[in-house]
Structure 1
Amino acid sequence: MMARKLQIKRGLKKDMPTLAEGELGFAIDEKSVYIGTGTENIPVGQGGVIVSATNPPYNNVLWIDTASGGVAKYHDGTTWVNVAATWG
């Protein structure tokens, strides 16, 4: 089986398009990761990624929910939302 490569959009923050829901982007000039909602790009804070069975106490991170089988989630300002992803 061949390894698969996950590609993330990258470039200058000023040139970043609106990312699709669950799509990741990396602003190379400010070294920041963003996750798209389809209508806006939400920065993933300095905390980066939290791996836990319970939701984090802060919302500016990407959460790997181990209670849900390792599903990645982001906070849309109201609730935690599954990151749309295809694994193969």
Structure 2
Amino acid sequence: MPRKVLIQIRRGLEKDIGTLAVGELGYCTDTQKLYVGTSSGNVLLVAAQTVGDMLKSIYDTNNDGIVDRASQADAVAWSNVSGKPSSFTPSSHTHTKVQITDFPTSLPANGGNADTVDGKHANEFLQKGTATTWNDLKGV
């Protein structure tokens, strides 16, 4: 036959709830949070949604300090984003060669620029009338 048991829950303001005994429940009348006492201190069991608290056990299941399920997060207003550029699209800027840390020490070249093929300028072929295709310009 089931026994009738009275379970007492410590209650009061959150700042006054104190350290609960192991297994003891504590209800905060001002924040509507429910705690249980453990050997390492009070652990939050339930936070009323009206307060807006997030439970770590739900949003950080792997305990790495990062919210796992960002798809459940609310949108953030642009005005609340920190570290953003002062204008969008960010203003143009330049860097000198010495400021580029991975700038190559040498570049492959064929002895000319974009108008040059195998050391000969494209105009040489076009003026002679011998080039009609890209392969003609390359001398293939």
Shorter-chain TM-score: which interval? 0.3 to 0.5
Does 1 or 2 have the higher relative contact order (CA < 8 Å, sep 6+)? 1
- Report which of the two has the higher share of helix: 2
- Report which of the two has the higher share of strand: 1
Larger Rg: 2
TM-score, with length taken from structure 2: 0.31
